[in-house]
Structures are given as C-alpha cells and as structure tokens.
C-alpha cells in the first residue's frame, strides 16, 4: 500500500477515534506521525520532529498563560461589568454586549472555548434574569467568540496565517479576521430578530452586575455550573426594573490595572512592532506573576495544555502527510474534478461537517493543508478560499457535540434542558448544512478576494 493511502487511512482513524472516544486528537496524531512516518514514509524521528510547530506552541502557551492570569485577578470580570454598564439598562443591548465582549476576548488571544466558558454563564444568567431567549444569548456568545477568533494575534488567526505563509500562499490576515467577524455578525443579526430580539427593543431595566468579582472568578476557574447572581423570575416581559441586591462598589486593583496595561502592550508590540506574540505574552504574564506570585501560582496549570497537545500533534502529522506526498496526491485528485468552484465548496463542507464533531483548530490546519496544491494552481482566489474554509470550519462550533455548544447547554438556567438541547441540535444542523455553502457563496464565488 502506498504511503499516501496509508496516511489518509491513518487520518480517518484519528478522526474516528477522537470522535467516539475521549482521547486527545493531538496524542493520536503524534502516535500516527511516529508509526506512519517511520514505518511507511521512511522518516527518522529527527525528520518528524522537524515538523513540530515550535513557534505556534510557544504562542499558545504564552497567550493562554496570560489569559489565565487575567481570569484569576478579576480583570475579565472587570471588563464584563464595565461593558454591562454601557447598556444603561437597555435589555436589547445585552446580547450584543455579550457578543462584543466574547469577540474581544478571543481577538486578544483567548481560546474560543475559554472565552465561552467565561462569558456563557454570565450571559445565560442575564437571559434568565431579564427574560431573554437563552438560545439567542448562548448563540450570540459563541458567534462572538468565532467572530473575534481570527484576529492576527488570536489562536485561530495565528494558526491559519502561519500555515498560509509557510506554504507560500497569498496572505491577508486582516481580511481573514474581518471576513469571519462580519460573517458571524450577520448571523447574529438574523438570530437577534428570529429569536425574539425585536420584543426586547424599548425594554429598560435597572441593570446590576450579575456577579461579584469573587463569584466571577469562581466561574472563570471552573467554566461550569450555574451562572452567578440571582436569577429573578418574572423577567419575561415587564419593562419594570428588576429587583435585586444592589451592586456593591468594587475598587479596581493594582493587579487589574497592570493586567490591562499588559494586554494593551501585547497587542501593540505584536501588531505594531511585529514582535513574536508568544514570547511577548509569556514575558508580560511572567512580569504580572511577579507582582502577585502567590495569587497566580496556579496559572501555569490553567494553560490549555490539551489544546497545545492537540495542535502540536495534528500539525506534526500534517507535516508527515506533506513528506509522504499525501497533500499533493489529494490536491491533484481534487483538482482533477476540473471545477474550481465545486472543489472549494467540497472543501468547505469537509471542514464544516468534520469540525462539528471534532476540534475546529485541528480541522482548519488539515483543511487548509489539503487545499494548498489546489490553491497553488491559481485557478481561484486564494484569500477567498482561506476565508471561506476558516469560517466554514468554525461557525459549526454551535454544535452541542463541540466544546462551545456543550458549555452553553451546561450553563443554561431555568430551562427544560432536554428541550434546550434539541433547540441547539436543530440550530447546529441548520448551520452545518447552510453555513459552508454561505461561506463559499460570499467569499469564493464572487472572486473578489
């Protein structure tokens, strides 16, 4: 059996095992890279390690370490409370504030599941308190996370842009970011009116923060459980102020001020001065830890090591695929269809369908790698296909089988959990069927990218 076929079968086995068993896909990918690489492709372990994405791993460690510190010292809660005050009691603005805050978190480097784990309990607490459709609120959080998830300094953005630049393809990080943001924003707008947002217009209540800093920090650490703060009944239609415990004045701590300065510094140094985001993040995080060493001693354990393992393993196996000639083999087969637009559509659906049950981060890497030979042929706009693949592979994270969808389901308050699950499942089914097609239709068909 040829190495190309062996690697493809190994890839199928990896996805199958990771879908049905709780085993990290990255660990499976490392095993496959070692066994297939040495036994079938003829690579040495040094050759395989040459494909280890060291720069990307440093970036993942750096940004998740920094974000863990921001969680622990209440900086994230500070940002959320400040955003809530901006709505000045307008209920219709609350879902959009949740969308914007989650987008901001992922845009500055938070992993999408981490941002959803932080904001979803708070957002769904607001939904229960003010009579907002929980499906609307939950999906606004997820689409917000995906909308901001492709900034040039985010995990998704760095992953996509690194692969594109490594393969020598036309790169446009800003276009990828804005494409995902606008696409998810458009979906959020449709959801707002379809899921009851219109009846929220004009309603105004007395807004208090749904959590104290201490409660918010507990939510940040766990990412599970009931949303903090009182879930007041009867908020389904009244325009009266909701009774609740008055918000206690909370001082901004020096630790939080330093963290905000650190987050701003990371963005400036990475975007303006083009310094490595991973090393900059680790440096800022370490400096912050020095000011409160005892408080942040557990921050290192909060680094998303499972995601680091996932991405490192999958991209190392992708390197083996490339060395085996599998990427060229599949690319030539796909190109052999002879219809560039159809090829791009099929790739979008592959990314979307698989991602609904597996890691979006891993799927993006595989989908783009498979598209490389097709894109190098120059028969279709590279940037448009990259944006479409990125969007198609991530909007399906609303699925209850994905981390984000499961977090929303787990944190819903005052709802029939079985009915809510069916609602999320139905919506995710629509997204899987329609989403990749719309991404292809908007970004690929016009040929404007």
Please tell me the distance from the alpha carbon of residue 378 to that of residue 223, in angstroms, as a whole number. Answer: 45
- Using DSSP's 3-state secondary structure scheme, residue 441 falls into helix
- One DSSP character per residue, 167-207 reads TT----HHHHHHHHHHHHHHHHHHHHHHTTHHHHTT-B---
- Residue 400 confidence (pLDDT): 81
Tokens of 169: 């393809």
- Residue 206 confidence (pLDDT): 56
The angle at the Cα of 37, spanning 371 to 303, to the nearest 5 degrees, equals: 75
Inter-residue contact 104 to 119 (CB < 8 Å): no
The CB density around residue 15, as the number of other CB atoms within 10 Å, is 19
Please tell me the distance from the alpha carbon of residue 287 to that of residue 273, in angstroms, as a whole number. Answer: 20
What tens-digit pLDDT sequence spans the chain (449 residues)? Answer: 899 899 989 988 988 898 788 888 889 999 999 999 999 999 999 999 998 988 878 877 888 788 888 888 888 777 766 766 777 778 889 899 999 989 998 898 778 887 887 788 788 878 887 888 999 999 999 999 999 999 988 888 888 888 888 888 888 899 999 999 999 999 999 999 999 988 888 877 654 544 433 433 333 333 333 333 333 333 333 333 443 444 555 688 888 999 999 988 887 887 678 788 789 989 999 999 998 888 888 889 888 788 788 878 888 998 898 899 887 777 667 667 778 888 889 889 888 887 777 667 777 877 787 787 778 777 788 899 999 999 999 999 888 877 788 778 877 777 887 888 889 989 999 999 999 999 999 999 988 77
* Predicted structure pTM score: 0.69
The angle at the Cα of 368, spanning 365 to 369, to the nearest 5 degrees, equals: 80
Q: Which residue ranges make up each domain of the chain?
A: 3-198+253-444
Inter-residue contact 403 to 362 (CB < 8 Å): no
pLDDT digits (tens, 9 = 90+) for 322-354: 899 887 777 667 667 778 888 889 889 888 887
């Amino acid at each position: 059996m040829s190495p190309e076929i062996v690697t493809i079968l190994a890839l199928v086995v990896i996805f199958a095992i990771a879908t049905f068993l709780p085993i990290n896909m990255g660990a499976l990918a490392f095993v496959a890279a070692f066994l297939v690489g040495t036994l079938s492709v003829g690579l040495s372990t040094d050759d395989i390690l040459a494909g280890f994405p060291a720069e990307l791993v440093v970036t993942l460690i750096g940004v998740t370490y920094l974000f863990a510190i921001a969680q622990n010292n209440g900086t994230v809660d500070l940002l959320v409370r400040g955003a809530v005050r901006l709505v000045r009691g307008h209920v219709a603005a609350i879902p959009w504030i949740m969308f914007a805050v989650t987008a901001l978190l992922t845009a500055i480097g938070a992993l999408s599941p981490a941002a959803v784990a932080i904001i979803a309990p708070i957002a769904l607490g607001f939904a229960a308190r003010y009579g907002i459709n929980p499906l609307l609120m939950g999906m606004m959080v997820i689409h917000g996370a995906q909308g901001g998830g492709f900034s040039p300094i985010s995990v998704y953005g760095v992953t996509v842009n690194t692969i594109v630049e490594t393969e020598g393809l036309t790169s446009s990080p800003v276009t990828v970011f804005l494409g995902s943001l606008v696409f998810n924003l458009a979906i959020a707008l449709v959801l707002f009116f379809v899921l009851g947002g219109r009846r929220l217009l004009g309603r105004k209540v007395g807004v208090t923060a749904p959590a104290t800093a201490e409660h918010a920090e507990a939510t940040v650490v766990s990412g599970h459980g009931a949303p903090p703060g009182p879930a007041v009944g009867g908020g389904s239609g009244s325009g009266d102020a909701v009774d609740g415990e008055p918000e206690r004045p909370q001082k901004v701590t020096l630790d939080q001020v330093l963290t905000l300065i650190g987050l701003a510094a990371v963005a400036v140094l990475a975007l303006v001065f083009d310094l490595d985001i991973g090393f900059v993040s680790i440096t800022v995080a370490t400096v912050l830890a020095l000011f409160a060493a005892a408080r942040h001693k557990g921050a290192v354990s909060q680094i998303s090591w499972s995601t680091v393992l996932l991405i490192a393993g999958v991209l190392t196996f992708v390197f083996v695929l490339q060395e085996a000639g599998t990427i060229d083999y599949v690319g030539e087969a796909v190109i052999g269809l002879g219809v560039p637009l159809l090829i791009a559509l099929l790739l979008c659906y592959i990314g979307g369908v698989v991602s609904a049950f597996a890691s979006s981060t891993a799927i993006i890497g595989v989908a783009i790698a498979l598209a490389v030979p097709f894109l190098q042929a120059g028969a279709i706009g590279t940037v448009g296909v990259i944006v479409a693949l990125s969007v198609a592979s991530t909007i399906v994270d609303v699925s209850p089988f994905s981390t984000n969808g499961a977090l929303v389901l787990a944190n819903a308050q005052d709802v029939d959990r079985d009915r809510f699950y069916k609602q999320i499942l139905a919506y995710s089914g629509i997204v899987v069927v329609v989403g990749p097609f719309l991404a292809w239709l908007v970004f690929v068909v016009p040929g404007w990218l």
